Amino acid sequence: MKHTSNIIDAAGYLAISTRLQRLADNLRKDGAMIYQHFGIEFEPKFWPVVYTLSKKSPLGILDLANEIGYAHPSVIALVREMEQKKWIRSLKDKTDSRRRLLSLSPLALDLVAKMEPAWSVIEAALEEICEGETPLLKAISEVEARLEQERFLDVAKRIAHDRAEQSVRIIDYEPRHQAAWERLNLIWIAKDFEVEEIDRETLGQPEKYFLSGGGAVLLAEKDHEIIGTVALQPFGNGSFELAKMTVAEKARGLKIGEKLGWAALERARKLGAKRVFLYSNTKAFQAINLYFKLGFRVVPLDSQEFKRANIQMEIVF
């Protein structure tokens, strides 16, 4: 049969499951015809169970499923069909009456004897077909080995996570960001603490409290949406307060807080900072861990400007 390229083939690795299924279907169809050529009526779908039990028996259902590599329900369905054909012998396990031990019946063993010459031909034909520049069995084994180390699902999740991290941009505040900047900060403060007057004052006038005096407000943007904030408030003599640092709940886990933190410290250096300090609360243990990671260390609390503050940290350049 001449193979022609189509949309599925052009989809590359996105279509690998479909192409493997197509290959399996073609091999099973021709495999059934090879058995007919040898005068044997046999559906290739039963081959894994027949072959496994011909080499190793008796086996419990779970052991059989593990040997084949099929899901437990799939093996049960095949075994039931084979029982209807009188190909399976089932005995209770002497050590566990709830467990069935399976082996091939005399009828199935006779069938195996007839099929062995066909298996030899099938194996030789597939070896000739598959042993090209990239031997198929070797490639399958390599892929299976990788999947044992890391599941397809986990690889996909990791890649999606990495791409999401890389799609985050750190940008400077502009007046058009006012609503997002204020909303994100009010959400995190109100969740665990009381929104204080100083919060409303500074959040409502970032230009006055952070920008006009030589500070900065940095924002994390992903897909044109503001999902994180941090600010540097200048206090003279090279001192800056790191403040209003938050990340939207839905964007947690992408290391955005870390990105904002490092960006804020880098900006502080450019602004000539000698010292950056912050106030926090020990309830916010994840934030405290991040501050330690950024290089902050605990110092005596020198202000009660915020009621919620019970810890002070600083980093000296």
What is the per-residue pLDDT for 9? 85
pLDDT at 262: 96
Position 2 scores a pLDDT of: 52
CA distance 76 to 56: 17
Rounded to a whole number, what is the largest CA-CA distance in the chain? Answer: 95
Q: Which residue has the tokens 């750190």?
A: 170
Which pLDDT score, from 0 to 100, does residue 52 have? Answer: 96
Tell me, what's the pLDDT at 71? 93
Report the C-alpha gap between 245 and 296 in whole angstroms. 14
- Domains belonging to the chain, first-starting first, are 7-149 (1.10.10.10), 169-316 (3.40.630.30)
> Which positions of the chain have pLDDT values less than 70?
1-4
Residue 271: Cβ within 10 Å count: 15
Tokens of residue 157, six digits: 């999740």
The pLDDT assigned to 61 comes to 92
**CA proximity to 209, closest of 249, 240, 180:** 240
Name the burial class of residue 58, with classes exposed (0-12), middle (13-18) and buried (19+) by CB atoms within 10 angstroms of its CB: middle
